[in-house]
Structure 1
């Protein structure tokens, strides 16, 4: 059965759980665009993380502080 509040939606409710009908797949161009965006975000996050680790390791306080050793 379709949702009476919004007939354009493509899901139904059975016993309080939602069943999502099969939706159309993205076009090739849309899929490539989304994957490029995700890859760029991953590379950016890894670059920022690497920069922070490099900056932290560059300072001499890392070699004098023994608080992390048992």
Structure 2
């Protein structure tokens, strides 16, 4: 079971996740579950307004592939 924190404001949602050892699979699965829950609840995610922010304090930072929701890539910020 994965734990995640969801903080909701009016019509905004924030998902906070911790990625360890460059393994993003749990994070991506959590985003798939969130997307499925939104669809089942008749809520739409506006991918054009979404931003993904990765905070990486390691000296050797690695790139990650963009988050994709319903065939659209989410813009990544630094």
TM value normalised by structure 2: 0.27
Higher strand proportion: 2
Higher relative contact order (CA 8 A, sep 6+): 2
Higher helix proportion: 1
TM value normalised by structure 1: 0.30
- Max Rg structure: 1
